[in-house]
Structure 1
Amino acid sequence: MLVLVFLIGLSACFYVYYKVKGVRAKPSLAKEICSAKSSMALGSLVLFYGLNQMILFHSVLTLVIGGIFIVIGAGSAWAGYKAFRHYNPLHAKEAERDHA
């Protein structure tokens, strides 16, 4: 499916973008937020890739491996989301303190 290929490419672009942004970030909380976002992007890339493989090929082995990719990708995206939710308020407080 062309939509999944587009989402895989978009996820890869976001992953590279947030990895580079995280390396270039100065404060440690900004690095953690970029790391969490890149984890979400990589998780979605793996999830979409597994889903794409399950749709394209219908062998038992492909379905099992695609299912494993979906579970791992969803777990990585969920862990990245949890990390983002943890670090985002701390980063907002730090930014507010720096501007005051």
Structure 2
Amino acid sequence: MAIFIFLIIFSLMFYVMYKVKYFRTHLPAEKKWLSGKSSIALGSFVFFFGINTLINPLSNVAIVVGIILILVGLGSIWAGVKAYRYYLPFAIKEAEAVKEAEMKEKTVTN
């Protein structure tokens, strides 16, 4: 189906976007938070690819591969959600500390 192809491409684009953000940041908590988000995106890519494989199975091997891809994708999504929830408060504190330091720096230079 065309909807699964769209979802596959969409989740792959989000994975690439989060990985680019991951490599551009220097803050450790934000890196781990973005890694969790990219894990969710990659897991959804694999999950939707597995569902797409099961839509028109060509053989028993395709069915087994589709089921394995769905399980791996769900596992990656689950691990990514756990990491996202765990590192979100640390990333918020880190971002607030950086913002506060920038504000102090602006007031000192002016």
Structure 2: tracts of 5 or more residues without a match: 101-110
Q: Distance in 1 between matches of 2:66 and 2:97?
A: 46
Q: Distance in 1 between matches of 2:19 and 2:96?
A: 25
The CA deviation string for residues 19-68 of structure 1, in whole angstroms up to 9 with x for no partner, is: 01100011011111111111110000000000000002242111111000
Please, what TM-score do these two structures have when normalized by structure 1? Answer: 0.93
Please, what TM-score do these two structures have when normalized by structure 2? Answer: 0.85
How do 1:35-46 and structure 2 match up within 5 A? 35-46=35-46
**Which residue is equivalent to 1:77?**
77
Identity %: 47
- RMSD, aligned α-carbons: 1.2
**Which residue is equivalent to 1:12?**
12
How do 1:58-73 and structure 2 match up within 5 A? 58-73=58-73
Structure 1: tracts of 5 or more residues without a match: none
1:98 Cα shift?
A: 3.7
Give, as a single letter, the amino acid of the residue that structure 1 aligns with 2:71. V
1:91 Cα shift?
A: 1.2
How many residue pairs get matched?
A: 100
Between structure 1 and structure 2, the one with the greater Rg is: 2
1:5 Cα shift?
A: 0.1
Q: Distance in 2 between matches of 1:13 and 1:56?
A: 25
